[in-house]
Structure 1
């Protein structure tokens, strides 16, 4: 009587078997590279740029980048889904004008700000509806609403500006936390940053955001409500942009229809520089925040060196192009390198072993 030889069971494989070591996954990333570059540029500017390490530099630096930091939070999630929002700066301008108009008509700053936030919510809802439910491309939609919202803002005030704001609120926008050099606006930013970090990295909603960016059709079949997710993200973008516009207005003490012109490019440049893929499905918030700070440090250092704004814009533009092109170049270079042959990752194949086993 012959005894059948039982095929050996396939070894249990875990995620760690297929991934890189932990230190590589933490250190050899684009986000870590951006953080390291930010630190290096900051140290270099401190040592070589006159007055960069002055007592007011950190305060003004954070005040300058605060609107970009705020808008970069929802923009990160939008770009991870494979969409984009180019109307954020025009929503800032519109909320600035509405704050000025309502306050000039006799409203208090809190009431006028609440109405401006509602307007930002409505703008984001319009973008979200057209993209998520009508199915229009976000690039075309937000280019159109960029012109629409900016046109409304300019139409309400024309070339005039409203500069009379309550001193208490204007001072609040420029004050610091106690005796530190950290502006008060960093408190709401920190709250929003924690909320968006939890939303993106520690919730099922955030996992759905990544799934949509990788393949929105597959995400739909796995139970992700693609349309609702995109709609919520555009609404969040509108509200946060309006809040940034309110802060911008109170800080500079001026409500104008052309406020924050061009800010959308700085936000997108910082998000892409921070490691978010323009094709969606990849990115982390800490890299994005480092990208914002990097652009802010470069701009501040160049301004102290009396470099013109045009040169600064050229440098930021080159960083944006590099952040988009470099990952593709590195991926192409990696695919051209010879790869070492490895054993069958699936382990022993029971069907093959059984076929060749003696009976």
Structure 2
């Protein structure tokens, strides 16, 4: 910054600051609306072409099948916007479920076991945050390592056996319809409220705007006073806590704890986040787009299951969607850059949009 005695530049030379955008415009300024439109088209095609797709029973099954993915995708969105990633979420879910099973077998009431399991997830996320921010290690390498570590600990606790003696009222309660509406389990309403909370956090607070700044240019964000390391640390901690909550939900939803629970779920989460318009390079994304991406991925997989497609093919489809979600935005950006006129004088090549806005 210039010293205090440096003459101020004339008004005509001062850069103009863009007017702040409203939270609603910020939430709708990214790929959220196109992804929502694509979701409506895909859902309409599925209803018209796939037998039994639109029945309340199948809709209920669809919602429950993506509940854990939707929960984990919310904090993952914030992490990816800052330019980081967490691949340990499925293993955190599994270790939480295994811990819950061991505690329940030991005679611990679920009212006590569940908070303990949630605290474990908080600690697992904090470890990811510590290794990434304090130790300065790449989050990709860190979370690949903890992905294997946490899954291994789950096998240490349970081995190949399963715990399936949970109280029936807890198990059936997770699947209960909201206000008696068939096809709308209460957990869907709870996750919807959680998504709204994350949307407000990301699009209507200074903290949320700082995440876009970090993803666009972490060094510049640091110079403007954003605590980059602490922000990322708490995001990883939040991710672990939410993944742990998803582990509790998964355990009660299926009534069992196993060490191999949610194998490959991290791939579906990342695919849904990128499909929802979040840039893998950071700085761009919205909760609306991610929720739409989760639902679209769920609709596609559910429709294929109703067609009798096996799980192996579904894994291939998920991987193809993940690749397309990364490649397509880059192709579109290259095409736009070739068609657009030359950058004006003073523009810096490679400048990235802030607050989720597209250039």
CA distance in 2, matches of 1:163, 1:71: 24
CA distance in 1, matches of 2:79, 2:289: 15
Q: How does 1:316-327 map to 2 (within 5 A)?
A: 316-327=318-329
Shift of residue 126, structure 1, vs aligned partner: 0.3
Contact kept in structure 2, 1:117 and 1:242, CA below 8 Å: yes
Shift of residue 13, structure 1, vs aligned partner: 6.5
CA distance in 2, matches of 1:165, 1:299: 29
Q: Tell me the equivalent position of 1:102.
A: 103
Shift of residue 340, structure 1, vs aligned partner: 8.5
Q: Tell me the equivalent position of 1:51.
A: 52
SS of match in other structure, 1:182:
coil
Shift of residue 119, structure 1, vs aligned partner: 0.5
Question: 4+ runs of 1 displaced by more than 2 Å?
Answer: 8-16, 24-30, 338-345
Q: Tell me the equivalent position of 2:269.
A: 267
Q: Tell me the equivalent position of 2:257.
A: 255
Shift of residue 339, structure 1, vs aligned partner: 2.6
CA distance in 2, matches of 1:44, 1:294: 12
Contact kept in structure 1, 2:30 and 2:285, CA below 8 Å: no
CA distance in 2, matches of 1:300, 1:275: 21
Contact kept in structure 2, 1:26 and 1:32, CA below 8 Å: no
Q: Tell me the equivalent position of 2:213.
A: 211
SS of match in other structure, 1:311:
helix
- RMSD of aligned Cα (Å): 2.6
CA distance in 2, matches of 1:96, 1:343: 57
Q: Deviations over 1:292-331 (max 9, x none)?
A: 0000000000000101122222222111111111111111
Q: Deviations over 1:95-137 (max 9, x none)?
A: 0011111111111112111110010001001000110111100
Structure 1 unpaired stretches of 5+: 1-7, 346-359
CA distance in 2, matches of 1:208, 1:327: 23
Shift of residue 11, structure 1, vs aligned partner: 12
CA distance in 1, matches of 2:216, 2:340: 27
Q: Tell me the equivalent position of 1:152.
A: 153
CA distance in 2, matches of 1:10, 1:204: 28
Would you say 1:278 and 2:273 are equivalent positions?
A: no
Would you say 1:310 and 2:308 are equivalent positions?
A: no
CA distance in 2, matches of 1:227, 1:189: 28
Shift of residue 29, structure 1, vs aligned partner: 4.8
Number of equivalenced pairs = 335
**1:294 to 1:9, Cα distance in 2 relative to 1, 3 A:** closer
Q: Deviations over 1:237-260 (max 9, x none)?
A: 001000101111111111001101
**1:9 to 1:208, Cα distance in 2 relative to 1, 3 A:** closer
Q: Deviations over 1:207-234 (max 9, x none)?
A: 1111110111111110000111001100
Shift of residue 342, structure 1, vs aligned partner: 8.7
CA distance in 1, matches of 2:141, 2:56: 44
Q: Tell me the equivalent position of 1:246.
A: 248
Greater radius of gyration (CA) = 1
Q: Deviations over 1:263-297 (max 9, x none)?
A: 00000000001000000011001000000000000
CA distance in 2, matches of 1:133, 1:344: 36
CA distance in 1, matches of 2:308, 2:339: 45
Shift of residue 338, structure 1, vs aligned partner: 5.5
CA distance in 2, matches of 1:125, 1:26: 28
TM-score by length of 2: 0.87
**1:79 to 1:11, Cα distance in 2 relative to 1, 3 A:** closer
Contact kept in structure 1, 2:31 and 2:286, CA below 8 Å: no
Structure 2 unpaired stretches of 5+: 1-10, 348-359
Q: Tell me the equivalent position of 2:85.
A: 84
Q: How does 1:1-359 map to 2 (within 5 A)?
A: 15=18, 29-180=30-181, 181-337=183-339, 339=341
Shift of residue 187, structure 1, vs aligned partner: 3.3
**1:107 to 1:226, Cα distance in 2 relative to 1, 3 A:** same
SS of match in other structure, 2:91:
helix
CA distance in 1, matches of 2:286, 2:63: 21
